Chains A and B, each alone.
Chain A
């Protein structure tokens, strides 16, 4: 860093534009803050907050986007009433809950397990870690597409491999009412268990060696060390991973749409998929806006409660 000569060169070169340059250069810190923050806030206001407010407004109307010229009526809370009284909604929320809870359970077990194993620092562990991480960076929609191919009951490789081990006949993972909810759990876990693993690994590496050494001197067993050192120290990281994954999976749309498109019947019709149907196939804009608001409030509320719990764990 040698600003001396550089500055003289600049001052000489920008002679004609000097008044403007001086004004720009002389900006106070306060002005810099405004200049730097405002554009971002404007973009977010225009493309995130304004639409959100619009959604809230629409949720009180009977507007239909495919009939832009029809008269818009204010219907009050009728859309919300309809949603909460509709039995199908609970089915979609149940499908979402099934998907959410099983993906979280499996991803925590597999992710944490893999992180413990990788933390043994065997030879080549960083190469294999990278290999394991590949699925999570892929496009979920495209992942959904190619898993439909792997899941073909007669010709797909998945059914074939399973049949090598257990003779169950052709497995119709996508077409069967019993298997489809598990198909989406499986593909999501395939994609995202590495995510939990990576964050857990960071947690494991944050534990200083001397903690274990002290415990060992005190005669704590390996089992004891695991439960009273490893688990509590990794827990905040694990909870963070679950927070991010749970928010994403609550919104889950792309992978499942391409894999099962909500079927068979509505066994895998998650909340977002139903929302898309109502909004862009049935064009019930007002109704689906109300549903969108309910979903958003749910995520937002749940995330807030969860973050409080997470901070309590961290402080302990």
Chain B
């Protein structure tokens, strides 16, 4: 056994440190551990930082070799993201009145004129509407259901809870086939309402499981005391339990929002024009001669930024959220 040979060396180092936990290892080791973690963190941040930078490059700089780390920042990517442009002849360009705005000027320096706003803003707004709409519904229904599961003996409770969780196991494409047909029958294809209902259903499992965990942690004594004082069950729920559960509800809402925000498969298959969200749109931002990388990077940056901020806000609840409340620290 390897462990036996190692044992001889340990008392020398470990003998004095009996009172210490393993976490409190020697400063040298701790320093080394920190170094490895920091290096890993920095390396995994390269892609995100690179995309952020690319959003401020010109299309030429974005495909230069070797890749440019130092470059002259430009807002061309962001202007291209929000506008449609068309290339014009030099004669036509010369005949135009002088540009009115900085972005007009930028586009004209490329021998193009702005023909109108692009669809990116609409897609982003769709993401916001559908994200918030479905989050509200999922958290509203989830709070009620979680309370019932947490406080009462619901018939078939475990089966129902497992059933709710198992809805998450289906591949989205498998569900998308009948949903596609159903929405077509009901006129919900490519509508905000259809997507809100769909994302609500997908988020129900997360919302019920997480909120049940949070509700379980609120002592029953609070509402029982209130009910002794003459509150009815519903009053106790609204006035005693809900205020106690605010943090949990907020955390759950953010998780649901992030899911709806990030969702791609359903959005790709069930929406096209009217209700399309940003994820299926970002890959098809086309410039002249292929993808317009700075515009794609700009769209990516604007799309990912809210999630990054929310993640930092959520960090103490992150573990619960990603395990459906199974691990609570």
Residues of A within 8 A of B (CB): 1, 3-4, 6-7, 24-27, 29, 32-33, 35-37, 39-41, 43-44, 46-52, 54-55, 58, 65, 68, 114, 116-125, 128-142, 144-147, 149-150, 152, 154-157, 160-161, 190, 195, 198-199, 202, 205, 209, 212-213, 216-217, 219-225, 227, 230, 237, 240-241, 244, 247, 250-251, 253-254, 257-258, 271-272, 275-276, 279-280, 285, 288-289, 292-293, 295-296, 299-300, 303
Contact = CB atoms under 8 A, between A and B. Distances in A.
Contacts of B319: 198-199, 202
The 5 closest A-B pairs by CB, nearest first: A122-B34, A292-B174, A47-B201, A141-B264, A139-B262
B136 to A, nearest CB: 13
Interface in B212-234: 222, 225-226, 229-234
B11 interface: yes
Most B Cβ at <10 Å: residue of A138, A150, A253, A288: A138
Contacts of B239: 3, 6
Contacts of A37: 144-145, 148-149, 154, 160
A122 B176 CA distance: 47
Interface of B: 2-3, 6-7, 9-11, 14, 17-19, 21-25, 29-31, 33-34, 36-38, 40-41, 44-48, 50-51, 54, 62-67, 141-142, 144-145, 147-149, 152, 154, 160, 163-164, 166-182, 184, 197-198, 200-201, 204, 208, 222, 225-226, 229-235, 237, 239-240, 258, 261-265, 269, 279-280, 282-283, 291, 293, 296-297, 300, 303-304, 307-308, 310-312, 315, 318-319, 322-324, 326-327, 329
Contact of B10 (A120, A222, A280): A222
A122 B171 CA distance: 41
B9 to A, nearest CB: 7
B227 to A, nearest CB: 10
B322 A244 contact: yes
Contacts of B25: 120
Contacts of B318: 133, 198
Nearest to A237: B327
Given A43-B204, A217-B18, A150 B234 contact: no
Contact of B29 (A120, A128, A134, A250): A120
B181 A54 contact: yes
Chain A contact residues, majority secondary structure: helix
Given A39-B144, A51-B179, A145-B296, A135 B44 contact: yes
Nearest to A276: B173
Given A145-B282, A251-B172, A32 B67 contact: no
Given A141-B283, A254-B265, 5 more contacts: A3-B230, A40-B208, A121-B23, A144-B283, A155-B62
Nearest to B175: A51
A98 B227 CA distance: 57
